[in-house]
Amino acid sequence: MLYFQKWKIALVALCVAAGALFSVPNLLGPQQRESLPGWMQPLSLGLDLQGGSHLLLELDTAGLIKDKLEGVLDVARGAMRTGKMRYTGLSVQQEAVVATILGGETEYAQARSALRNAIPNADVEIDDQGKIRISYGEKARREMMEGALSTTLEIVRKRIDELGTREPSIQRQGNNRIVVQLPGVSDPKRAREVIGKTARMTFHLLDMETSVEDAMKGRVPPGSMLLEGLDTGPQGQKRYYVVRKKVEVAGEHLVDAQPTFDQGAPVVSFRFDALGGRLFGKVTQDNVGRSLAIVLDNKVVSAPNIRGPIMQGSGVITGGFSTQGANDLALVLRSGALPTSITFLEERSVGPSLGADSIRAGMVASLVGLCLVVGFMLFAYGLLGLFADIALLINMMLLVGCLSAIGATLTLPGIAGIVLTMGMAVDANVLIFERMREEASLGRSVLSSIEAGFSRAFATIFDANITTLAAAALLYQFGSGPVRGFAVTLSLGILTSMFTAVMVTRLQVYLWARRRRPSALPLPV
């Protein structure tokens, strides 16, 4: 006997009401949406529908290894000096730190032990002539690259969030690439400048004993380096500074940076953490009267004179910034320094007019598909086809409501998933109705045929949808960007179509049968 429990009726009503609630924001205008709570928001449009910018970034793998080896070189020099070892030729060559240890087997063993303890994740090799080689193996390089990629992803996400971009898509691609999609950003120039800035800031003392002229002729002392300045001279010529290599305070200790004004000029104020504040206070206290160079990405931003100790752990960066330049520098400093430089391999923009055309085409395709499906069901199954069409409309509402609830971004592949879901939603009803027809042809009563149609077709419906759901899961796992969007839409569509076919259509048929007590199934011959 056809029976529908009360708790199932309540469940169907609750799910339909929830779907309607989450779908409503998509029908409201921008001003009406502002008054809605944060959990009740419309679907966001993707890059292909809204227009915006697409960027493909690649991490500088060689630069990352080189920077790591430069750090290894400093650690190796310190370890050998601490152990009072004699060495010569310490340098970075062919992706390794090399040197020659002076002495015999005892000194070689001492150097090997000290360097392995000082640099535990590197391979330390020494031959019979005392030539030492420190390098990173394949496993260490993979871990290094994985860590750099994860760090870069997080920093890029922070920088884009501070730009105010709504619903950006930031995803890794392969082992050293990142895809960034910025819906609504038609001019990617500023975004590219902010994202791509390494923002590695360090503080160094100027070398007051070496002139810039001597340094430009190649006479640079071992502990110093010649760096270009961001500012220019009186005639617009580039300025250069001779800077000590030793980092007095590293930018890793920065906890905040904000744009502000000093005597009417845009500047950037910064603040250190507790350790950075102590280091900054000590270097300013010990070097009153000297100049402290502020170096950003190997260029001197400014080199102010230390007039007195600065013990509060904060300061100001001046450098002839524009207001926008001060804002961008503060932004990248707050988000942290990239572990290595990045290269923009691809950059393209999608205009809003093209996005509008895509939306229009998607709407037309959806409406045509909906009309064809609705018309076919009415023609083929009459009143039962009408029940299926009502369930289809509820299915569309539930699908849009689910996508809105999880904060999904709608793309063209997502629209394709919705159109595909329309056919899949009525496919289950077709199986049920055909099963009813077969049962009725065997002489069963109307109620018995209806009950058998739903119960015996369920296994087939379940198997068919599970296989499609598995395919969607694989698309999501191994796909990226639009492919994942299609997989999400398809997966939710499968779940909502199963619910509407098995529960909503069945409830409608149950209420109709209970009220009308039909003597025959309302199916066209």
pLDDT at 277: 85
- Residue 171 and residue 157 in contact, taking contact as beta carbons nearer than 8 Å: no
| Beta pairing, strands 44-45 & 409-410 | parallel
Q: Map out the domains of the chain as residue ranges.
A: 6-51+351-516, 61-140, 197-348
- Residue 362 and residue 412 in contact, taking contact as beta carbons nearer than 8 Å: yes
pLDDT at 186: 64
Output the six-digit token pair for 380.
């083929």
Nearest to 184 by CA among 208, 199, 163: 163
Q: In a 3-state reduction of DSSP, which class is residue 230?
A: strand
The CATH class of 197-348 is alpha beta
Tokens 């300061």 — which residue? 315
What does the alpha-carbon distance between residue 35 and residue 192 come to, in Å, rounded to a whole number?
33
- DSSP letter string, 258-326: EEEEETTEEEEEEEE-HHHHHHHHHHHHHTTTSBEEEEETTEEEE--B--S---SSEEEE-SS--HHHH
**What are the helix and strand counts (H, E) for the chain?**
15, 19
Contacts of 319 (CB under 8 A, 6+ apart): 230, 231, 267, 301, 302
Nearest to 388 by CA among 507, 469, 490, 494: 507
Integer angstrom CA distances of residue 202 from 160, 161, 226, 294, 466: 24, 25, 15, 6, 56
pLDDT at 506: 86
pLDDT at 423: 77
- Please report which helix (H) or strand (E) contains residue 81, including its range: helix 61-82
Chain segment 111-127, per-residue pLDDT in tens: 888 888 888 888 888 88
Nearest to 188 by CA among 350, 70, 317: 350
pLDDT at 233: 63
Q: In a 3-state reduction of DSSP, which class is residue 351?
A: coil
Q: In a 3-state reduction of DSSP, which class is residue 494?
A: helix
What CATH number has the domain spanning 61-140? 3.30.1240.20
Q: Which residues of the chain register pLDDT less than 70?
A: 1-3, 47, 162-167, 186-188, 232-236, 319, 336-337, 350-356, 480-481, 525
- DSSP letter string, 393-427: HHHHHHHHHHHHHTT-EE-HHHHHHHHHHHHHHHH
**Residue length of the chain:** 525
Output the six-digit token pair for 301.
């931003």
pLDDT at 14: 92
- Residue 233 and residue 227 in contact, taking contact as beta carbons nearer than 8 Å: no
**Which runs of consecutive H residues, i.e. helices, occur in 302-445?**
323-335, 352-405, 412-441
Chain segment 171-217, per-residue pLDDT in tens: 888 888 888 887 777 666 777 777 777 777 788 899 888 888 888 88
What does the alpha-carbon distance between residue 99 and residue 116 come to, in Å, rounded to a whole number?
15
What is the amino acid identity at position 82?
T
pLDDT at 152: 83
| Beta pairing, strands 131-135 & 292-296 | unpaired
- Please report which helix (H) or strand (E) contains residue 78, including its range: helix 61-82
pLDDT at 164: 65
Other C-beta atoms closer than 10 Å to the C-beta of 373 total 20
pLDDT at 353: 60
pLDDT at 355: 61
What CATH number has the domain spanning 6-51+351-516? 1.20.1640.10
| Beta pairing, strands 52-59 & 177-183 | antiparallel
- Total-model pTM: 0.59
Residue-wise burial string across 256-280, b where 16 or more C-beta atoms lie within 10 A, e elsewhere: ebebeeeeeebbbbbbbeeebbebb
CA torsion through residues 74, 77, 81, 82, sign: positive
